[in-house]
Amino acid sequence: MTLHPEIAKFLAGLPAPDGGPLDPAALRAADEAHVPPLDKRLPLHAVEDVTAKTPAGDVPVRVYTPAEADRHRVLVYFHGGAFFLGSLETHDHVARSLAKETGLKVVSVGYRLAPEAAFPAGLDDCYAVVRWAAEEDAGLGWDGRTLAVAGDSSGGNFAAAVAARAHDDGFDRITHQILYYPSLDLDFDVERYASLRENAKGYGLETEGLKPFNAFYLDSGADPADPLVSPVKRADLTGLPPALVVTAQYDPMRDEGELYGERLREAGVETTVSRYDGAGHGFVQHFSWIPEYHRVFGETRDFLGRR
């Protein structure tokens, strides 16, 4: 299948990159400029900004409640953005759709970003919020059964790393991990994965841009050889939570996600790998309004309902 025509049309209208050094502040400002006003956002029963009091410090979170209830299944969501972009605002629409379509209370994490916050600050925030969410005094009304983690791109990296870290710490409350086109191997060796070559140029995220975009994170102390930085490098995947790994046909990072899913299955972890044809990296954030891609939220709902 060729690239979806709506995505191709959008990409054709983008200006050429200026080729200069990346400016985190300018890129963040551009990202935030596209956030829709509140009255244009998907309505839910309740949306509340709160502060999670955790051992990692105070972490801003946004809590999305789809319907009134005494107890809730909970999903903790980590936004993408190459570890230096993204916010509660830029991914608000993703969290709203997750809450509406799955029926889970969604906790979106405003974790600290590189380069201002050195590794492992962002990961620490994400892990701390998951543990906070399971506490009674968090006030989320967690039902004590379903506690999922989810993330897109670099947020998928954090979701995988949090699941692994929780397992190693003996924190066995995480029941599902949902990884949308995850960034799982940060050494960017183009010979390692065919998708880095096949999808190198022309599909939005380009292979030659991976190193500079992730440099803010790597230069802050994140070692690509560390399995908490590159989860695909973890030697033993046994005992991790069931996983849904969503990949995109025209994503340079497609193959590392699919390899991770294969390795999870080999380790005995119940895993679904779902490739979305015609899509490129970032489709959940940018193109979930297209019906073929909006079904990712229904697939997530079905995955969460299996156990």
Whether 15 shows a pLDDT value over 90: the answer reads no
Give Cα separations from 196 to 80, 93, 168, 252 (angstroms): 19, 29, 31, 4
pLDDT band at 167 (very low <50, low <70, confident <90, very high): very high
- Render the burial of 163-182: b for 16+ CB within 10 Å, e for the rest: bbbbbeeebebbbbbbbbbb
The answer to whether 53 and 132 are in contact (CB under 8 A) is yes
pTM score over 0.85:
yes
Q: Which residue has the tokens 């949306």?
A: 47
Token readout for 58 is 């105070």
Q: Give the pLDDT band of residue 18 (cuts 50, 70, 90).
A: confident
Q: Which residues pair with 178 in a beta bridge?
A: 150, 244
246's enclosing H/E stretch is strand 243-248
At 87, which helix (H) or strand (E)? Answer: none
| pLDDT tens-place string over residues 138-166 | 999 999 999 999 999 999 999 999 999 99
Does the pLDDT value for residue 19 go beyond 80? no
107 beta partners: 63, 76
* pLDDT level of residue 1 (50, 70, 90 thresholds): confident
Q: How confident is the model at residue 307 (pLDDT cuts 50, 70, 90)?
A: low
Cβ atoms of 100 and 66 within 8 Å: the answer is yes
Catalytic residues: 153, 251, 281
Distance CA 76, CA 143 (A): 14
